[in-house]
Amino acid sequence: MLGIKKKFSDQEFIDGILSDDSRLLYELYYQNLPAIKKSILNNGGNIQDVKDVYQVTILSFIEQIKKNKFNHDCSLDTYIFSIAKKLWLKELRRRRKSIFIESDVDLQADLEDFSDFDFEYASVMQKSIFMKHFALLNEDCKKILDMFFKKISDEEVANKLNVSNKHAVVQRRARCKLYLIESVRQDPMYKEVFDYE
């Protein structure tokens, strides 16, 4: 959204939606797709998720414009992005992929779910509990998990930590991650803060 020169103003897009101008609808669709695609892919989604969420987002947005529910408090781009963000958060919750609500999974699947805990979507209390227990980890675990969050390759992690190979990194990270999960789950506030039901 930022840094992209718009071909049409927000009002022109609104008028185009109200008059079913296919040219303006096309421009609106592709103007907002890159930012939403990046957001979903960076937060546990795939290309099909992008297509599904974005289609619902645009249809919802068009319906709100036609029902005169857009209050002009922000730009159309921001408004569309907020719709997509809320839809994707709802889907993530439905799938229950967060590391703190996933249970009875094998190590590899559990590791993959770790990346789905997104601080942008997390509540203040969730962040607080996560950081409290992360701080209790030993220094090696902190380092290896921090590099995992930053998406540093296993090969690079092995070099930085002087570990024999990437398989050893995966095993060590699994132990650290599972220790962190169990620590969080033992927190007195866990059930209240991470219960989405």
State the architecture of 10-95 in CATH terms: Orthogonal Bundle (1.10)
Local structure of 168: helix, strand or coil: helix
Would you say 92 and 44 are in contact if contact means Cβ atoms under 8 Å apart? yes
pLDDT, averaged per 10 consecutive residues of the chain (197 residues), comes to: 59 87 85 90 86 88 85 82 87 60 36 43 64 87 87 88 85 86 80 56
Residue 38 identity: K
Q: Where are the domains of the chain?
A: 10-95, 107-194
Pick from 74, 58, 72: nearest CA to 26: 58
pLDDT of 121 reads: 46
